[in-house]
Amino acid sequence: MSDMTPQSPSEGHRGDWQAAFALRYPMARSVGFECFGGWQPILARLFDRLEAAITVLPADSSAAFHIVQIKQKFGRLSVQLSTEGTAEIQAVVRDAEESSLVTCEVCAAPGRLAERNAWWSVRCAGHENWSRLV
């Protein structure tokens, strides 16, 4: 489990959303999520679109395709794939990464990318000073 999973009463038990993703999306079973749960809507759209895009790939390509890593890096979602994939797959990943730049990583509300205490993050006004350490 990632140490970046939110730990607040409203977020439930640590990793609950990650386990739900693993049940819903076979592709998510081998991925460690290194981001907060506020990006769940972005990740759900990413997985839905990736699963649709890989169904049209040749069998050998789709079998080898997987997500290597999903994390927050410099305040934005970063998705690393096993292969570059098609132009459609690249667009799906780019859309998810760009959506993260305006989505609060804690609650999914509209947010703003900024440096906070020497750490880049996207937060809404309500989570501006939120910390996983609280």
97-129: pLDDT as tens digits: 999 999 999 999 999 999 988 889 999 999 998
AA identity, residue 15 = G
Q: Which segments within the chain are labelled E, that is strand?
A: 33-34, 67-73, 76-81, 112-116, 119-123
Quote the pLDDT of residue 7.
Answer: 36
Q: How far apart are CA 40 and CA 43, in angstroms?
A: 5
Going by their DSSP bridges, the two strands 67-73 and 119-123 should be labelled as unpaired
Residue 59 has pLDDT above 50, yes or no: yes
Question: Domain segments of the chain: what residues?
Answer: 9-125
At 75, is the secondary structure helix, strand, or coil? coil
Would you place residue 69 in the very low, low, confident or very high pLDDT band (cuts 50, 70, 90)?
very high
pTM of the predicted model, to two decimals?
A: 0.84
Over the chain, what is the mean pLDDT?
Answer: 86
Average pLDDT over residues 9-14: 39
Q: What would the two tokens of residue 37 be?
A: 């749960």
- Of 3-7, 19-23, 67-71, the poorest mean pLDDT is in 3-7
Q: What percent of the chain has pLDDT over 70?
A: 87
Average pLDDT over residues 85-89: 92
